[in-house]
C-alpha cells in the first residue's frame, strides 16, 4: 500500500525525532549515567553520619574535599594502628595477679614427711662391700666391715673429667663405690636396711590426740633412705586433716628416735630431714625441707599460701597434675621423668642417681663416656637447649616456715625420783644424742591466695576497637550498620543502572 509506513520505520523516526533521547548516542548515554551516579553518591555522602565523609560530600571546593579526605585517611590509619596494638597485646594473653586474704575456721593441715639423715643402719654396711652377697649380708651374725665414706651428689663424687686423667683420691673412690652399690639396690632391699617406722617414730600426737606409725605412709629416698609422711593423701584417705587452732598443741608433735649408734661413718650429722608439703603432692625431701638436730625441740610455725594460675593460652600454660594423663603426680616427677628420657635418648642409658618411675637401662658411672654424657644432658637442660614440657601446676599450695629451736629435754623435766643424779644425767645425755622433737603448727588461720585473672575479657575486643573508631572517626555500632546499608544501596543502584545501560545499548544497536 502506498504511503503506509512500517513499524521499523516508525521506531527509527521516533528515535530520530528524540522520542527516546537517551538512545541518541552511546557516549552521551554513558556520560549521563556517570553524572546521575555521581549526583546520587554526592547526596548520600552529604547525609553520612561520619562527619568527615559528609564534609567530603557537601564540599564544593576541591581543595576542601582533599583536606577532609586526608583527615579521613589519617583517622582510619590512627584507629587501625591503635586497634592493632591492642590486638597484639591481647594475643599475648596477659594476666593480673590479685592477692586475697581468707580467714578460715578450719584450715587443711599440710603433709609432713620425716626422714632420718642416716639412710642405712651401720650393721648393714657390709651389704655394700664387694664379694659379699646381699643374702649373707642380711643374715645376722657376720662380721661387720667399716669404711669411712662421704656421700654427695653424683657429679661431686665422680666427674667425667677425673676419669680422663690425673690421680683419683682413694677415699673418694671408696665413697663412689659405696654409692654405686647402694644405688643399685632395689627399693625393697633399701627399705629393709633403713630405719623402720616403729622404731623411728617414738611418739606422735595431732590436735592433742595420739597417733602412731600406722598413720604414716612410707616412701623411699635415695639420699635419705626410708621416709614417713603424715597426712599424705592416698587412695584410702583423700581428705586431709584440718585444724581450728593456731597454738602448737593444735598441730603435729613428734619424738623421733635417731639411733645415732647405728649411724654410718659417712653420716656426719645426726638429725632428721623434714619436708612440709601439700598433701596431694608426693614428698621431695631432696629438693625441699629443713634439717632438725638431735637434743633439740624444733618448732615450725607455718602459714599457708596458694597460687592459682590460668591454663593455656595464658603465660604459665599450667596443667593439673594427677595420677592419670600425660602429666603425672607432680611437676618434680615430670621433670625427673623428662630428664631420664633425654638421658636415654642421648646416652642410651638413664642416670641411676635420679629416681623416677621409668624402668630404663642405667648408665655405668665408672664409664667416662657415659658419665660425661649425663653431665652434658644436664648442662643442655640448664641452658634451655633441651626443654622439658613440665609446666607449673594450676594450683600450688606451699607453706611459709618460721623455725625456732630450744634445747630438749631439760634436766628438770627428765628427773625421776628413783634415779640418782648421775644416772638421770647420763640418761639425759643419751636421749639428747639420740632423739629429736618436732612441732608443726599454724601461726595463723589466714590463708593468702594469689589468683591470676585475665587482664582483658573477650568482650573488650569490641569495646576497645569501638572506642578507637569512635575517637578517631566518630563511628558507633549503629553508624557502622548504616554505612553497610548505604554501601549496599549504592552497589545495588550501580548494578541496576549498569544493567539498564547495557539493555538500552542493545536496543539501540538492534534498531540501528
Omega before 42 cis (within 30°)? no
3-state SS of 326-371 is CCECCHHHHHHHHHHHHHHHHHCCECCCCCCCCCCCECCCCCHHHH
Task: Examine the domain organization and report whether 205 and 57 are in the same domain.
Answer: no
Specify the range with the lowest mean pLDDT, choosing from 52-56, 334-338, 399-403.
Answer: 52-56
447 falls within a domain: yes
- Say whether the peptide bond before residue 76 is cis (omega within 30 degrees of 0): no
Which helix (H) or strand (E) element contains residue 510? Answer: helix 477-511
pLDDT category of residue 376 using cuts at 50, 70 and 90: confident
Give mean pLDDT, residues 242-249: 87
**Average confidence score pLDDT of the chain:** 78
Same domain membership, residue 216 and residue 333: yes
* 301 in any annotated domain: yes
Within a domain: residue 363? no
Give a yes or no: residue 422 inside a domain: yes
Share of the chain above pLDDT 70, in %: 72
Contacting residues for 192 by C-beta, under 8 A, at least 6 apart: 138
Position 255 confidence tier, pLDDT thresholds 50, 70, 90: very high
- In the three-class reduction of DSSP (H, G, I as helix; E, B as strand; rest coil), residue 163 is classed as helix
C-alpha span between 327 and 321 (Å, rounded): 5
DSSP state of 26: H
Residue 290 lies in a domain: yes
Mean pLDDT for 134-154 is: 40
Same domain (yes/no): 283, 136: yes
pLDDT at 147: 30
Residues 78 and 123 in one domain: no
Q: How confident is the model at residue 160 (pLDDT cuts 50, 70, 90)?
A: low
Report the pLDDT value the prediction gives residue 143, as an integer from 0 to 100. 32
* All residues at 6 or more sequence positions from 495 whose CB lies less than 8 Å from its CB, including other chains: none
Q: Please state the rounded mean pLDDT for residues 53-60.
A: 78
Q: Which of 48, 46, 40 is nearest to 59 (CA)?
A: 46
Are residue 226 and residue 296 in the same domain, yes or no? Answer: yes
Residue 236 above 80 pLDDT?
Answer: no
Phi, psi of 430 (to 5 degrees): -65, -40
Task: Tell me the per-residue pLDDT of 80-106, one tens digit each, with 9 for 90 and over.
Answer: 898 899 999 999 999 999 999 999 899
How many C-beta neighbours within 10 Å does residue 349 have? 19
466 and 326 fall within a common domain = no
State residue 230's pLDDT score. Answer: 95
State the pTM of this model.
0.73
Task: Identify the top-confidence range among 77-86, 270-279, 350-359.
Answer: 270-279
- Whether the pLDDT of residue 208 is over 70: the answer is yes
pLDDT at 257 over 70: yes
Closest by Cα among 360, 355, 350, 370 to 223: 355
- Whether 7 shows a pLDDT value over 50: the answer reads no
**Mean per-residue pLDDT for 407-415?**
77
Query: Cα 202 to the chain's mean position, in Å?
Result: 39
Neighbours of 296 (CB within 10 A): 19
Residue 294 banded pLDDT, cuts 50, 70, 90: very high
**pLDDT score of 62 more than 80:** yes
Give the pLDDT score at 216. Answer: 94
The more confidently predicted of residues 483 and 87 is 87
In a domain, 354, yes or no: no
Same domain membership, residue 86 and residue 207: no
**Is residue 11 included in any domain, yes or no?**
no
- Give 27-52 pLDDT, tens digit per residue: 554 555 566 666 766 676 677 777 77
At 326, the pLDDT band (50, 70, 90 cuts) reads low
CATH number for 204: 2.60.470.10
Residues 138 and 47 in one domain: no
- 411 and 298, same domain (yes or no): yes
Closest to 114 measured CA to CA, from 436, 443, 441: 436
Note down the domain range covering 52.
Answer: 24-92+457-475
Average pLDDT over residues 340-345: 88
**Whether 313 and 213 share a structural domain:** yes
Residues 72 and 150 in one domain: no
DSSP structural state of residue 222: T
Three-state secondary-structure class, residue 255: strand
How far is residue 41 from each of residues 47, 56, 433, 479, 482, measured CA to CA in Å? 10, 11, 100, 18, 15
Kindly state whether residues 288 and 205 are assigned to the same domain. yes
pLDDT for res 76: 86
Lowest mean pLDDT among 12-21, 311-320, 364-373: 12-21
What number is the average pLDDT over the span 377-381?
A: 83
Let me know: does 381 contact 398? Beta carbons within 8 Å: no
For the chain, how many structural domains are there in total?
2
Q: Does residue 180 fall inside a structural domain? A: yes
Amino acid at each position: 500500500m502506498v504511503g503506509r509506513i512500517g513499524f521499523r520505520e516508525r521506531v527509527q523516526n521516533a528515535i530520530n525525532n528524540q522520542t527516546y533521547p537517551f538512545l541518541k548516542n552511546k557516549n552521551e548515554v554513558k556520560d549521563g549515567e556517570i553524572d546521575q551516579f555521581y549526583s546520587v553518591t554526592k547526596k548520600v555522602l552529604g547525609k553520612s553520619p561520619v562527619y568527615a565523609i559528609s564534609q567530603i560530600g557537601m564540599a564544593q571546593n576541591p581543595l576542601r574535599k582533599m583536606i577532609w579526605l586526608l583527615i579521613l585517611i589519617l583517622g582510619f590509619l590512627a584507629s587501625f594502628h591503635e586497634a592493632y596494638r591492642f590486638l597484639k597485646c591481647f594475643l599475648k594473653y596477659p594476666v593480673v595477679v590479685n592477692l586475697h586474704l581468707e580467714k578460715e575456721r578450719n584450715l587443711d593441715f599440710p603433709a609432713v614427711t620425716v626422714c632420718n639423715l642416716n639412710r642405712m643402719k651401720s650393721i648393714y654396711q657390709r651389704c655394700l662391700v664387694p664379694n659379699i652377697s646381699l643374702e649373707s649380708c642380711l643374715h645376722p651374725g657376720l662380721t661387720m666391715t667399716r669404711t669411712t665414706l662421704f656421700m654427695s651428689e653424683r657429679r661431686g663424687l665422680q666427674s667425667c673429667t677425673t676419669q680422663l686423667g690425673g690421680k683419683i683420691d682413694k677415699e673418694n673412690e671408696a665413697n663412689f663405690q659405696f654409692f654405686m652399690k647402694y644405688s643399685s639396690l632395689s627399693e625393697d632391699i633399701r627399705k629393709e636396711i633403713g630405719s623402720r617406722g616403729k622404731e623411728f617414730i617414738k611418739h606422735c600426737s595431732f590436735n592433742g590426740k595420739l597417733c602412731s606409725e600406722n598413720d604414716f605412709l612410707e616412701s623411699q629416698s635415695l639420699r635419705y633412705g626410708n621416709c614417713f609422711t603424715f597426712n599424705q593423701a592416698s587412695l584410702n584417705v583423700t581428705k586431709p586433716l584440718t585444724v581450728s587452732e593456731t597454738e602448737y598443741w593444735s598441730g603435729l608433735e613428734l619424738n623421733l628416735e635417731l639411733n645415732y649408734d647405728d649411724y654410718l661413718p659417712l653420716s656426719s650429722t645426726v638429725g632428721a630431714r623434714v619436708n612440709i608439703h601439700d598433701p596431694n603432692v608426693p614428698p621431695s625431701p631432696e629438693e625441699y625441707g629443713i634439717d632438725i638436730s638431735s637434743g633439740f625441740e624444733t618448732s615450725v610455725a607455718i602459714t599457708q599460701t596458694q597460687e592459682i594460675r590460668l591454663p593455656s593460652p595464658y603465660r604459665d600454660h599450667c596443667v593439673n597434675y594427677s595420677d592419670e594423663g600425660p602429666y603425672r603426680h607432680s611437676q618434680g616427677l615430670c621433670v625427673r621423668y623428662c630428664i631420664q628420657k633425654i638421658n636415654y635418648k642421648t646416652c642410651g642409658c638413664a642416670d641411676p642417681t635420679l629416681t623416677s618411675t621409668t624402668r630404663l637401662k642405667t648408665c655405668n658411672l665408672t664409664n667416662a663416656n657415659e658419665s660425661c654424657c649425663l653431665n652434658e644432658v644436664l648442662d643442655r637442660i640448664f641452658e634451655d637447649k633441651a626443654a622439658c614440657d613440665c609446666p607449673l601446676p594450676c594450683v600450688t599450695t606451699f607453706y611459709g616456715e618460721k623455725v625456732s629451736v630450744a634445747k630438749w629435754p631439760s634436766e628438770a623435766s627428765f628427773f625421776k625420783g628413783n634415779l640418782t643424779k648421775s644416772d638421770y644425767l647420763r640418761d639425759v645425755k643419751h636421749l639428747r644424742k639420740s632423739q629429736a622433737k618436732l612441732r608443726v603448727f599454724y601461726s595463723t588461720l589466714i590463708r593468702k591466695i594469689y589468683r591470676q585473672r585475665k587482664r582483658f575479657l573477650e568482650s573488650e575486643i569490641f569495646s576497645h576497637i569501638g572506642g578507637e573508631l569512635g575517637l578517631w572517626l566518630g563511628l558507633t555500632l549503629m553508624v557502622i550498620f548504616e554505612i553497610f546499608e548505604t554501601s549496599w544501596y549504592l552497589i545495588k543502584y550501580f548494578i541496576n543502572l549498569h544493567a539498564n545501560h547495557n539493555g538500552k545499548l542493545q536496543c539501540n544497536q538492534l534498531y540501528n
